[in-house]
Amino acid sequence: MYELISSICSIFQDLADLVWGFPTNIAWYASLPVIGELPLVIILLVGTGIYFTCNLRFVQIKYFRYGLNVLINSHKEKQGISPLASFLLSTAMRVGPGNILGVTGAVSTGGPGALFWMWVSAFFGMATAFVESTLSQIYKEKQGDEYVGGLPCYGRRFLGGAAIIGGVLSFLYIIYALLCIPAQGFNTISAMVAVTQNLTGAEIAAGSSLIWGFFLLLMALTAFSIFGGLRRITNITDVLVPIMAVVYVVAVLVMVAMKLELLPWFFYVVVTEAFRPEPVFGGALGIALSQGIKRGLMSNEAGQGTLSMPAAVSYAKHPCDQGIIQAIGVFLDTIVICTLTGFVLIMGQAWMKDGSAAWFKMGRLEKFLASCAQMLGSEAGYGLATLVISICFGIFAFTCLLGFLSFSEICAKQISNNTVFIVAVRLVNLAVLAFGMITNIVGFDLSALWNLSDFANIMMVCCNLPLLYLGFGKVQKAFNHFECKEGKFCSETLDEPLPVWDEIH
């Protein structure tokens, strides 16, 4: 069985590498300086962000403060969920284990300069997030007292309006969720074990009854959450997301305060090594650039369409309101959370000290914790940091898991409202979650499960990017209406039927 699972995961990895790497796997292209190290998909994602940024007149800067005001002044809604609840739900999916593991992988492979390119990808990705989230709001639909929408809805509108189109896109998202859920289950169990070991000081053996107890507890918590519907999940994320964000931010800032004299050096090394990486990281600009952009885009998910659904479920006075809010979500994820991880990795300097070879051989989470130890410089401090980071890591994974499960169900409802079908999708999701946790318990390698996620990510990018271009004209019209404040947004604004917006206004 172990060999079978490994073989299946390796097939997905080969497919993901083929698409993610194209055309760097072609000799003549790979021989080109700098650009030869950049896959086509990364060029397209960044190019799309630049195109949207220029045509929307740097919307991510111009309306940043406006978006914050919308979040601050949001309140509970009778129909849909509030803008703040939608923001927290999308943040639950954006801010996940990748904010630690992904950044660690980028910096340990591409050097400190990779963080600079993560910032660049996030800045332009904010415009891409604005476009897909605005489209999600424009074409959202109503089911009972809730709004639904996102990629399946705007995709159906742009590809002929046939119900089968929406069904296929909904099914693709369900597949995406099923491929990503195992890694989140794996990470949550890892965090629970790490926290317990830290508190008790005892090593927990693989497959012990305690770990199986964690398995049952997590299955019960997850089942309770998803069988309560979207509102129960948003109630949970409304609590957990602010807690995990505040705790992680405070923990890292405390470590930074202990090494405050290194802060100017941090920014210097990030910027200079973005263009001149050290030999230990390959010494090539393309490596830092490719690693930074890829990990940045995969962290904030701009352009994948995977966060179009939390954007659609919110009540909004104008579609562009939610677009601006989701752009802020990209900022929070990459410019704030990923940078905090970068502070620890780079200012810890484990990568440049004697014995750095051992650091490079560690797993990603171990690298990050070792960097925490360098920042704190004491055994007691390291123990406390390990506990706090493990708790944050576990909450990151659990809230991300809830996001996948909830929007998998929303997509299932796009296919059929049959109760048996919806329950079946919930049970399949729980089964896949159980698989992810069991792989941890029996000692399976996490990297194999990340292979599934890599394939899922590229699959969604290939589906979503063409649709964003098809719908960009609609976004421009909506944005012009938003800026000019020409009355209420409704069907007449875009000269096409928008029944939800006609009802709102």
Q: What does DSSP assign to residue 204?
A: P
Structure tokens at 123: 């800045």
What is the number of other CB atoms lying within 10 angstroms of the CB of residue 502? 13
Is residue 499 in a domain? no
- The pLDDT value recorded for residue 63 is 94
CA distances from 260 to 178, 253, 284 (A): 43, 10, 29
Distance CA(421)–CA(412), nearest Å, equals: 8
pLDDT for the residue numbered 52: 97
User: Is residue 494 one of the residues assigned to a domain?
Assistant: no
pLDDT the model gives residue 111: 85
Helices vs. strands in the chain: H and E counts, helices first: 24, 2
Exposure string for 46-70, b = 16+ CB within 10 A, e = fewer: bebbebbbeebeebbeebeeebeeb
Res 5: pLDDT: 66
| pLDDT value of position 281 | 54
Residue 50 lies in a domain: yes
Which pLDDT belongs to residue 2?
A: 60
* Distant-in-sequence, close-in-space partners of 375: CB < 8 Å, separation ≥ 6: 255, 256, 258, 259, 344, 347, 348, 385
Residue 146's H or E segment, with its range, is: strand 146-148
Burial call 302-328: b when 16+ CB within 10 Å, e when fewer: bbbbbbbbbbbbbbbebbbbbbbbbbb
- C-alpha–C-alpha distance, residues 172 and 322, integer Å: 24
Q: Which long-range contacts (CB under 8 A, 24 or more apart) does 27-35 make?
A: 33/286, 34/285, 34/286, 34/289, 35/286
Burial, 203: exposed, middle or buried (Cβ in 10 Å; 0-12, 13-18, 19+)? exposed
CA gap 89, 406 in Å, rounded: 10
Q: What is the pLDDT of residue 82?
A: 78
Q: Give the pLDDT of residue 47.
A: 92
Helix axes 113-138, 40-55, angle to 10 degrees: 60
Distance CA 188, CA 196 (A): 12
Beta partners for residue 147, in sequence order: 142
Of the candidates 305, 331, 326, 322, the residue with the CA atom closest to the CA atom of residue 479:
322
In a domain, 502, yes or no: no
CA distance 304 to 322: 17
Q: What pLDDT score does 100 carry?
A: 87
Question: Is 497 within a domain?
Answer: no
d(CA 337, CA 100): 9
Q: What pLDDT is recorded for position 75?
A: 63
Do the beta carbons of residue 39 and residue 462 sit within 8 Å? no
The full length of the chain comes to 505
What range defines the domain where residue 295 resides? 11-485
- At residue 268, what is the residue type? Y
In a domain, 1, yes or no: no
Q: Give the β-pairing of 146-148 and 141-143.
A: antiparallel
- The pTM for the full model equals 0.90
Place of tokens 């940091």: 385
Structural domain count of the chain? 1
CATH code for the domain in which residue 91 is found: 1.20.1740
Per-residue pLDDT tens digits of the chain, which is 505 residues long? 566 666 766 777 777 777 777 888 788 888 887 777 778 888 898 899 999 999 999 999 999 999 999 888 866 555 557 788 778 778 777 887 888 888 888 888 888 888 999 999 999 999 999 999 999 999 988 877 778 888 888 999 888 878 888 889 989 999 998 888 888 888 888 888 888 887 777 777 776 778 888 889 889 988 888 887 777 877 787 788 788 888 888 888 988 998 899 999 999 999 988 887 665 555 456 677 777 877 787 788 888 888 888 888 888 889 999 999 999 999 999 999 999 999 999 998 888 777 777 878 887 888 888 888 888 876 666 777 788 888 888 888 888 888 888 888 888 888 888 889 988 999 999 999 998 888 888 777 666 677 777 788 888 888 899 999 999 999 999 999 998 877 788 888 888 888 888 887 6
The answer to whether 321 touches 162, Cβ cutoff 8 Å, is no
For residue 493, being part of any structural domain is answered with: no
Q: Is residue 492 part of a domain?
A: no
Peptide bond into 466 cis (omega under 30): no
